[in-house]
Structure formats: structure tokens, C-alpha cells
């Protein structure tokens, strides 16, 4: 018998005592470890290995764990809570002012160098330091130039809106689940801006990208995160791909190899210095310029592929989910739906397509979008950052290097110190006495500060034009005898609604 065979024999016949010994060893090591110099906020007891993960496992009525974490913070009478995610030290912030202050500082712009974002979104979202600053600046200005500055994004969104209206019309008011269609539309907007190409909704390649990104973002997200939180030695002894990390990596390389790389090669072949057609052309231009400068930079082919993946992931699931919540809220609040439609028809009159200049004349519609975003944040505990490699002082605490900082978005969007009757769905909270919109930066859907969503202007444009365009043409109803609850899908990565079929009934 080989050494490994013998070892396997011994282990498999003594699994219980071995497990008990390992548990005792870990417990003893944890109890005897030297006291840290850090000054941490109050927080609950953290177990070895899992920390406080048990407090945020998906639960009916609290998929993200944000409500339970808020309750714990209240029990400890603290606005800043110490929490442990696996073996990672975290703090959870529940007040808007604290999040604003922390997220405006450079020390709070870092990511976990070995965490899941690093491989899921290695372009901009998963990087930090000089590389992140350079790439974020480029992405912001390029999206502004291509998408927003020249009305190109508006044209693209209007084109997609018309396709979706056609498809809704074909359904003839019969109940259906619009998730895939919305997702197609939103991803096509990103594809058009990035590589100047929109896909037909039934295109096989397009369907495959959407399948891959859905698998990574939704179906596997929690497993991946759990896998990354375990100490490396535990991961190494677990056979197979229990945490779906290898599976997600293979889907990522498929998206890059089969789609983005092909588009990149086509762009290089037809590139002209005189005309930048889209994000890819603009990036290739930077690659050429930086090659000759000899300064450190990240304008490389690999970085471009990673950035495209990031923009695709960051911009698809989020926008799709908010649009789905908008439809569900309208189906459940018929009176508000009617008010929104009355305002839209007042402004658009002849049935023309909505434009961004209409927004200022539709305060109630805008307030309704904002209220849905407040009531139903798409990610309540996921907009995280890390502190830098140095100890960081914050509000009298001394945080260890790379502390995970988690804003509790649910707590902020429902903070009774700021909102009147926060549990109520009431768009009028955003309308002033003069009938105009009241700007309120407490709606943190796009986060705040240095790493705030860089697709925010595009996303706001998508939400407004698409919502208005659909409400103008269709009445949204729950099919007779059925339900369409305002409930989160248990276990979903971002807080998506449970699947419900709705009727989109054409307005004559």
C-alpha cells in the first residue's frame, strides 16, 4: 500500500476523532492567540473559521442578512459594528454620514487582493491603487464621451426600447416573465457602447454570454464567496469544485475568449486613428499612445478584456433587477401606476419616444423610480470596500490593515432618523411643495464617494427612458387569480425578485 493509501485508510477509519482533534486544536489556537493592538467597535462574538457568517445566511424576509445585522447593531447600541466574515475583520456602517465620510477617503478604496471580486471583476471593480485610478478615469471619460455626451446612449436605449415594445405587443397581454427580455435589452446597450454591436435577442452567442454571466453572478455567487472565505488549507483538502470557483473561472474565460477577444481582433483589424467608434476603439488608441510613452500603465489587451467583463457584469444584473422591481411595484400599486401614466401621457402627448429632456417635466415618475430604488435596494450588504495595507483610524477606532467595510444599505434607506414612515411605499416623499423633485443623496443605490458607480448616468438614463417608454404603452397587471409578491428570491446574489408572470396590456 502506498503512503497515501495508508494515510487515506487511517483517516477514513478515524474521521470522528480526527475531526474532534482538529476542532480542539483550532479552538485552542484561537483562544491563545496574542491580543491585537486594534481598537474595534463593539460587536458580537465571532466563531473560529466562520466568524459571524451564520448571522447573514439567506433567510426568508432577510435574504442579505441586513435586517439581522441592523438588529445586532441596535442591541450593541452602536452605529459602527464590528463583524467577522470568515476570518476577515469587517465593520458595518449603518448611518449615511459615516458611509459618506469613509467612502470619500483614499484609505477606503481598496479591494481584497485574494477575494472573489478580484477574479469575478478583475478590470476596474476588482483592482485598486494606481491601476484602478487610471482605468476608472479612462472608463468614466470614455463612457461620458461615447454614451452621454453625444446622445449616443439615448439613441441606443430608444432602439432597444422599441424592440422590447414590439416583443411585449406580440405577447398580446398574456402573462409572461419578462426577466430574460429585460436582461437582453440592458446587455445590448452595454455591447453597443463597448463594441458597437447589438445582438438579436435569440442570437446563440448572446444567449450564451447571458447564461454564463447569470451563472456567475446569481447562481454561484454565494458559493464562490463562501469558498473564498475559508482558509486555503481547508479549501485544498475539499475534493472537487464544491464552491464552484473553477466552474465560474471557466465561464469567465469562455466569455473573454469566445466573444470579447473576437470583437477586439475585429476592432484592431479595422482600427483608424481618425475615428473612435466605441469604447474598444478608444482603449486601443490609449494602448498605442502609452506604448510610446514608456511610463508604467495598464493599457494592455488583458486589461481591456477584463474591463469589458466588468462593465458587462456591473451594468447588466443591477439594471435588470431594478427594472423588474419597478414593474412589480407598479403591478402591486395600481393607483401609483395610473398617476405615473397620466404624467407621462401629459408630457409625451402624441406617443413620441421619451427623451432625457422630458425628465424635468415628469417629477412624479422620477420620484417613483427613486422610491422603488429606496424600498428595494438590489444589494444591501454587498457594496464593500477594504481599508489599505496600513492601520486606519476612523471615528476613534483603529482598524487593522485591509478591514472589510460594509455599508448597510437597507439600514440607511430605512433610517427613521431621516425618512418619515420608511416602511411605506410613497413616491411623494421625493416631491416638494412646489411639485418638483427633491434631490436626496441618502438613496445610496449607486453607492457614494471615490468608488461610486461609474455607470450611474447611463443607468439612470436606461431606467428613466425604459420605464417611461413601457408605462406609456402598457398597463401592467397581475394575472387574475395569481400573485406577484414583492419578495426577494431566497439565496440570490443581488436581491432579485421571485419570478412572477405579469400581463403587459397594450394601451389603445
Grid coordinates belonging to 1? 500500500
DSSP class of 467: H
Residue choice 41, 44, 65, 315 for contact with ligand HEM (CB under 6 A)? 315
CB of 174 to ligand HEM, least distance (A): 28
CB 179 within 8 A of CB 501: no
**Closest CB to ligand HEM among 125 and 437?**
125
Question: For ligand HEM, which stretch binds (CB under 6 A), given 87-95, 276-284, 312-320, 336-344?
Answer: 312-320
369 binds ligand HEM (CB under 6 A): no
Grid coordinates belonging to 232? 486555503
**Closest CB to ligand HEM among 290 and 450?**
450
**Closest CB to ligand HEM among 152 and 475?**
152
Residue choice 245, 322, 381, 405 for contact with ligand HEM (CB under 6 A)? 322
Question: For ligand HEM, which stretch binds (CB under 6 A), given 172-180, 358-366, 416-424, 445-453?
Answer: 445-453
Give the Cα separation of 224 and 216 in Å (integer): 9
Question: For ligand HEM, which stretch binds (CB under 6 A), given 221-229, 240-248, 262-270, 449-457?
Answer: 449-457
Grid coordinates belonging to 228? 473564498
**Closest CB to ligand HEM among 190 and 226?**
190
402 binds ligand HEM (CB under 6 A): no
Distance of CA 474 to the CA centre of its chain: 28
CB of 219 to ligand HEM, least distance (A): 20
Residue choice 63, 142, 319, 500 for contact with ligand HEM (CB under 6 A)? 319
454 binds ligand HEM (CB under 6 A): yes
Residue 295 burial (10 A CB sphere; 0-12, 13-18, 19+): exposed
310 binds ligand HEM (CB under 6 A): yes
Cβ count near 435 (within 10 Å): 8
* Closest CA relative to residue 141, chosen from 282, 281, 260: 282
Give the Cα separation of 66 and 392 in Å (integer): 25
368 binds ligand HEM (CB under 6 A): no
Question: For ligand HEM, which stretch binds (CB under 6 A), given 162-170, 265-273, 317-325, 415-423?
Answer: 317-325
**Closest CB to ligand HEM among 459 and 478?**
459
CB of 369 to ligand HEM, least distance (A): 10
Question: For ligand HEM, which stretch binds (CB under 6 A), given 23-31, 224-232, 454-462, 478-486?
Answer: 454-462
**Closest CB to ligand HEM among 323 and 478?**
323
**Position of cell 478515524?**
14
Question: For ligand HEM, which stretch binds (CB under 6 A), given 83-91, 176-184, 307-315, 347-355?
Answer: 307-315
Give the Cα separation of 263 and 122 in Å (integer): 19
Residue choice 56, 90, 120, 124 for contact with ligand HEM (CB under 6 A)? 124
Residue 265 burial (10 A CB sphere; 0-12, 13-18, 19+): exposed
465 binds ligand HEM (CB under 6 A): no
Q: What is the CA radius of gyration of the chain?
A: 24
CB 438 within 8 A of CB 93: no
227 binds ligand HEM (CB under 6 A): no
**Closest CB to ligand HEM among 157 and 503?**
157
- Does 453 appear as a known binding residue? yes
443-463 burial, b at 16+ Cβ within 10 Å, e below that, comes to bbbbbbeebebbbebbbbbbb
Subset of residues 176 to 195 that bind ligand HEM, contact rule: CB under 6 A: 190
Residue choice 41, 86, 122, 455 for contact with ligand HEM (CB under 6 A)? 455
403 binds ligand HEM (CB under 6 A): no
Size of interface with ligand HEM, in residues (CB under 6 A) = 22
Looking from the CA of 278 toward its CB, the CA atoms found within 13 Å total 21
H or E, element range at 280:
helix 279-293
Following DSSP, what letter does each residue of 363-388 receive, concatenated? HHHHHHHHHHHHHS-S-SS---EE--
458 binds ligand HEM (CB under 6 A): yes
CB of 9 to ligand HEM, least distance (A): 48
CB 386 within 8 A of CB 404: yes
Subset of residues 131 to 150 that bind ligand HEM, contact rule: CB under 6 A: 136
493 binds ligand HEM (CB under 6 A): no
**Position of cell 476523532?**
17
Tell me the residue number closest to ligand HEM, measured at CB.
Answer: 455
Looking from the CA of 242 toward its CB, the CA atoms found within 13 Å total 10
Packing angle, helices 279-293 and 179-195, rounded to 10 = 40
Cα 122 to Cα 143, 181, 251, 309: the distances in Å are 19, 27, 14, 8
Helices (H), 376-427: 409-413
243 binds ligand HEM (CB under 6 A): no
- Binding site per annotation, positions for heme: 453
- Binding site per annotation, positions: 453
**For binding to ligand HEM (CB under 6 A), which residues are involved?**
124-125, 136, 190, 310-311, 314-315, 318-319, 322, 378, 383, 445-447, 451, 453-455, 458-459
Amino acid at each position: 500500500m502506498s503512503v497515501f493509501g495508508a494515510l487515506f485508510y487511517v483517516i477514513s477509519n478515524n474521521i470522528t476523532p480526527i475531526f474532534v482533534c482538529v476542532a480542539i486544536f483550532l479552538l485552542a489556537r484561537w483562544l491563545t492567540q496574542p491580543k491585537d493592538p486594534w481598537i474595534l467597535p463593539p460587536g458580537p462574538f465571532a466563531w473560529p473559521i466562520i466568524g459571524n457568517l451564520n448571522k447573514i445566511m439567506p433567510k426568508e424576509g432577510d435574504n442579505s442578512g441586513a435586517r439581522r445585522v441592523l438588529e445586532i447593531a441596535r442591541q450593541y447600541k452602536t452605529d459602527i459594528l464590528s463583524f467577522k466574515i470568515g476570518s476577515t475583520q469587517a465593520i458595518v456602517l449603518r448611518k449615511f454620514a459615516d458611509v459618506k465620510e469613509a467612502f470619500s477617503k483614499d484609505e477606503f478604496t481598496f479591494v481584497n487582493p485574494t477575494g472573489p471580486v478580484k477574479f469575478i471583476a478583475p478590470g476596474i471593480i476588482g483592482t485598486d491603487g494606481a491601476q484602478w485610478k487610471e482605468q476608472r478615469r479612462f472608463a468614466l471619460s470614455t463612457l461620458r464621451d461615447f454614451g452621454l455626451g453625444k446622445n449616443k446612449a439615448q439613441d441606443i436605449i430608444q432602439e432597444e426600447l422599441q424592440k422590447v415594445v414590439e416583443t411585449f405587443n406580440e405577447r398580446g397581454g398574456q402573462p409572461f416573465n419578462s426577466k430574460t427580455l429585460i436582461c437582453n435589452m440592458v446587455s445590448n446597450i452595454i455591447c453597443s457602447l463597448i463594441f458597437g454591436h447589438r445582438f438579436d435577442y435569440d442570437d446563440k452567442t448572446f444567449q450564451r454570454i447571458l447564461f454564463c454571466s447569470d451563472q456567475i453572478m446569481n447562481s454561484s455567487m454565494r458559493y464562490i464567496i463562501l469558498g473564498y472565505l475559508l482558509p486555503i488549507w481547508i479549501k485544498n483538502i475539499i475534493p472537487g469544485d464544491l464552491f464552484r470557483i473553477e466552474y465560474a473561472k471557466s465561464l469567465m474565460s469562455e466569455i473573454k475568449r469566445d466573444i470579447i477577444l473576437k470583437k477586439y481582433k475585429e476592432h484592431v483589424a479595422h482600427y483608424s486613428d481618425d475615428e473612435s467608434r466605441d469604447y474598444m476603439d478608444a482603449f486601443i488608441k490609449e494602448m498605442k499612445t502609452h506604448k510610446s510613452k514608456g511610463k508604467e500603465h495598464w493599457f494592455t489587451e488583458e486589461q481591456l478584456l477584463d474591463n469589458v467583463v466588468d462593465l458587462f457584469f456591473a451594468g447588466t444584473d443591477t439594471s435588470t433587477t431594478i427594472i423588474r422591481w419597478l414593474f412589480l411595484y407598479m403591478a402591486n400599486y395600481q393607483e401609483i401606476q395610473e398617476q405615473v401614466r397620466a404624467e407621462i401621457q401629459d408630457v409625451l402627448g402624441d406617443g413620441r419616444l421619451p427623451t432625457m429632456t422630458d425628465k424635468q417635466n415628469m417629477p412624479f415618475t422620477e420620484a417613483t423610480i427613486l422610491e422603488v430604488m429606496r424600498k428595494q435596494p438590489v444589494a444591501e450588504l454587498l457594496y464593500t470596500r477594504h481599508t489599505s495595507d496600513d492601520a486606519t483610524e476612523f471615528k476613534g477606532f483603529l482598524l487593522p490593515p485591509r478591514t472589510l467595510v460594509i455599508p448597510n444599505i437597507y439600514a440607511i434607506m430605512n433610517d427613521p432618523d431621516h425618512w418619515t414612515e420608511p416602511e411605506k411605499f410613497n413616491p411623494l416623499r421625493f416631491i416638494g411643495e412646489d411639485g418638483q423633485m427633491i434631490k436626496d443623496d441618502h438613496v445610496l443605490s449607486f453607492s457614494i464617494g471615490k468608488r461610486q458607480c461609474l455607470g450611474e448616468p447611463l443607468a439612470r438614463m436606461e431606467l428613466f427612458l425604459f420605464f417611461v417608454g413601457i408605462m406609456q404603452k402598457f398597463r401592467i397587471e397581475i394575472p387574475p387569480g395569481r400573485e406577484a409578491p414583492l419578495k426577494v428570491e431566497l439565496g440570490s446574489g443581488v436581491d432579485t425578485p421571485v419570478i412572477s408572470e405579469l400581463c403587459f396590456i397594450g394601451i389603445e
